[in-house]
Structure 1
Amino acid sequence: MKSIVVQQPERLVIEERPLPQPGPGEVRMRVSRAGICGSDVHIWHGHNPFARYPRTIGHEFFGHIDAVGQGVDAARIGERVVGDPVLSCGHCYSCQVGRPNVCRELQVIGVHRDGGFSEYITLPAKNAHQVPASIADNEAAMIEPFTIAANICSQLQPAKTDIALVYGAGPMGLTTIQALRGVYGVKRIIVADRIDERLAMARANGADCTINNAKDDLGAALAQQEARPTLIVDAACHPSILPQAIALASPAARIGIMGFSAEPCVISQQEITSKELSIFSSRLNSNRFPMVIEWMSQKKINPTALITHQFAYTDVLDAMEVFEKDQKHCCKVLLTF
C-alpha cells in the first residue's frame, strides 16, 4: 500500500508499505478521503514536540472497513466510517471523568502512531464511527474538524442570548462559527481576523460582524457597536489574545482557548475575579464524533462550505503548500485516495 510519510523534518515522501492486519479489537479501514490540518504541517517541518519519525501523518480520515480483527463483528465489513484519532487508556482519572482527550497515556493517530494519509489504516473498532448514507464522502472527511468545535462548545455551553466574539477565521474558527450559529443559535457572532479574505469566509459561514484587527482597534470597534462579548473563543492562538479577551469580556463571560502556543502571556487575576470570568481550554475532542454526525445528519452545519481545495494523494506536496501558504483563499484541503 502507499503511505504519505514524514521520514524526518522537511522530508515528506510517498512510501510503499506492507498492508497492515487488524489486531484484536481493531478494524482495518480503506481510506478514501483525508483532510490536511495545521498539525500535519507542523510535523512536516519538525515543530511538533510529540511526533517521532518516520511518521505517517493525518488524523482527519474517512473510508470503509475492509477487515476486522478478533472480537469484532464481521458484519462491520463494508461500513462507511470516520476515524477518531484519540486513543486513551480508559482507566486513568481523565478517562474516568469522560475526558479521554487528555488521558495520561494519550496517543493521537497521525502524531504518536501512524495516521490516515495512507491507503489503509488499522485502529480500534470503537474509534471507527459509522457514517450514514445521507452524509457524502467529502462531508464525512470534515467530521473530525467539527469535533474540535463541538468540544469547546460543550464546555462553554453557548446560549441564544450570547454575544460571541471569535478570534481567528481559519478552519478552527470557521467550524466554531458554524456550530455557534447552526447548532446553538447564538444571538450575535463577531469575528476578528487580520486577513480580509478570511473575514469574508467568516461572514459566509454565519458571522454577523467582522473586524480586521490588523487595521482597526478591536476594543474601540466593539465599543462603537455597544457589544460586550459574553462568550469568547480564541481560535487564533496568539499569546496577546487572552489578556485582551479578559479585558473585553462582559462580567460573567466564558472564554475558551483552543490553541497550543508555548509563548507566555501576562494576565491580571483582578480582571478575571472582578468579573467572575470562566476560562476553559480545549484539546482535540472527548467522544464528540456521534454529536457531530448528528449535526451533519440534521443539516445544522455545512461542512462543504469549508472545503476549498481537493488533491489526489500523489500531489500531497502541492496540497500541503497550498494549505500552508494561501491563507487568503484556502480553508480546508482534502486528499483523495
Structure 2
Amino acid sequence: MIRGIVCEEIGSLVWREDLPEPNLKPGYAIVRIRRIGICGTDLHAYRGRQPFFEYPRILGHELSGVIEEIGENGADLRAGDQVSLIPYLHCGQCGACRSGKTNCCRQMQVFGVHLDGGMREVVSIPVSHLIRTEGLTLDQSAILEPLAIGAHGIRRAGVKAGDTVLVIGAGPIGLGVMILARHAGANVIAMDINEERLDFCRSWAGVEKTLTASEDSLARLEEWTNGELAPIVIDATGSAESMKQAFRFVSHGGSLVYVGLVKGEIAFDDPHFHSREITLSASRNATREDFDFVLDAMAAGMIDTDRYITHRASLEEAAGQFDYWLQPESKVIKAMIEVGG
C-alpha cells in the first residue's frame, strides 16, 4: 500500500495510507513521485469549479520523480532516471491525434482530472509520456507542465519576434505566457488587478509595461500603441468577465486566445467581433513540442524557479494547506509539494 491524498468530494481532501500499489504493465513505467506542483485545476476541483471532473479523485498533474521500474523501451529510459510527466494521455487514433493535435484528443484522459493523478507516492505512467530531465532540478522538472501550457498558448497565437502581446492575468499560467512570449522575441504588456503581481511581472518575467485592470486601462493601451491596441491578446485569468472584456483590447485584424478555462458560457458583442475580424482561439493543454520549447527557455536561463515557487509543503501536510493557498493573503504564485527526501 502507498500513501497519498484523495479529493473525496468538494472541499474534502483525505489523507490515505491504503492506496493500491501500481503494477508494471507493458509500455508503462513505475515512477516514484518527488515533486507535485499545485495548479489552478487542483484548486478549482477542490472548490467544485472544475469542468470535466468527477469525485473521488486523486489530484496532481504537475509532476516530477524518478523511475523505479521500467521494461525495454525505445526511449532508452532506465530505472533511476529523473523524469517529468506529460499528463495528457491521448488515444493516438482519433482525427485530432492523427493530425498531431494530441492535446485535444477526443478521448483525452488528463492525469489528475479524468483519472487518478500524482498526489501519491508512486504512479504508473506510459513511457511515451515521460521526459528525461537530467540536468534539471526536481522543481524545474515539475514546473515544465504549467509552463508548457503557456508555451502552447503563444503557439496558438502565432507569437513571433517583434509582436506586441497583451497578457491578461498574472497567475502562474499567465506568468509563463509572459516569459515564454519574451523568449520568442515579443514585446509583452501585462494586465492584472493586483499591483503586487504586476510588480512580479516586471521583476520576474522582465515585462516592461504593465496595466492595472481599471476603467482607464483601454485608454492607456491606446496611448501606448498609437490607437492600434494589441494585435495579440492572451487571457489567462479563468474569469468569465475578464474573458468577455478581453475583446475590447484586440486590434483590428488581431487575435484573442483563451488559455484560461471557465465552467460556463462566454458572451460577446458580435458586431464588434466582426468589425475587427478578430480571430478567437482556445488553447488546451500542451504537446511535447511545447515542453521542448520550455526546456529551451530553461537552458537559456529564462526561468527563475526559486522565485516562481513561493510555498512548499510535504505530502502529509498538503491537504491542510489548500484553504490557505486559496486565500489572497497567502500571496501564493506556485505551491509545491515535496515527497520524500
Tell me the TM-score normalized by structure 1. 0.92
> How far apart are residue 224 of structure 1 and its match?
3.2
Q: Which residue of 2 aligns with 1:231?
A: 232
After TM superposition, the structure 1 = structure 2 runs for residues 272-283 of structure 1, keeping only pairs within 5 Å, are 272-283=273-284
- CA deviations over 1:169-210 (Å, ceiling 9, x no partner): 1111111111111x21213x2211111111111112222122
Q: Which residue of 2 aligns with 1:212?
A: 212
Q: Which residue of 2 aligns with 1:142?
A: 143
- CA deviations over 1:100-121 (Å, ceiling 9, x no partner): 1211111010011111111101
Give the % identical residues: 29
After TM superposition, the structure 1 = structure 2 runs for residues 315-326 of structure 1, keeping only pairs within 5 Å, are 315-326=317-328
SS of the aligned residue for 2:49 comes to: coil
SS of the aligned residue for 2:251 comes to: coil
Q: Which residue of 1 aligns with 2:114?
A: 112
SS of the aligned residue for 1:35 comes to: strand
Task: Give the count of matched residue pairs.
Answer: 333
Whether 2:236 is the aligned partner of 1:249: answer no
After TM superposition, the structure 1 = structure 2 runs for residues 1-337 of structure 1, keeping only pairs within 5 Å, are 1-16=2-17, 17-69=19-71, 76-133=78-135, 135-181=136-182, 183-187=183-187, 189-204=188-203, 205-214=205-214, 216-226=215-225, 228-287=229-288, 288-326=290-328, 329-337=331-339
Kept in 2, the 8 Å contact 1:36–1:320? The answer is no
Structure 2 gaps, min length 5:
none
> How far apart are residue 335 of structure 1 and its match?
0.4
Tell me the distance in 2 between the aligned counterparts of 1:238 and 1:211.
17
Tell me the distance in 1 between the aligned counterparts of 2:53 and 2:80.
32
Aligned AA (1:323): W
Tell me the distance in 1 between the aligned counterparts of 2:170 and 2:162.
22
Aligned AA (2:86): D
Structure 1 gaps, min length 5:
none
Kept in 2, the 8 Å contact 1:31–1:63? The answer is yes
Aligned AA (1:11): S
> How far apart are residue 220 of structure 1 and its match?
1.8
> How far apart are residue 72 of structure 1 and its match?
7.2
Q: Which moved more, 1:99-108 or 1:273-282?
A: 273-282
Kept in 2, the 8 Å contact 1:197–1:328? The answer is no
Kept in 2, the 8 Å contact 1:159–1:184? The answer is yes
Q: CA RMSD in A?
A: 2.0
> How far apart are residue 268 of structure 1 and its match?
3.2
> How far apart are residue 62 of structure 1 and its match?
0.1
Kept in 2, the 8 Å contact 1:63–1:80? The answer is yes
Kept in 1, the 8 Å contact 2:170–2:198? The answer is yes
- CA deviations over 1:226-277 (Å, ceiling 9, x no partner): 4521111101132333443333222222211112223433323333333332
Tell me the TM-score normalized by structure 2. 0.91
Aligned AA (2:235): D
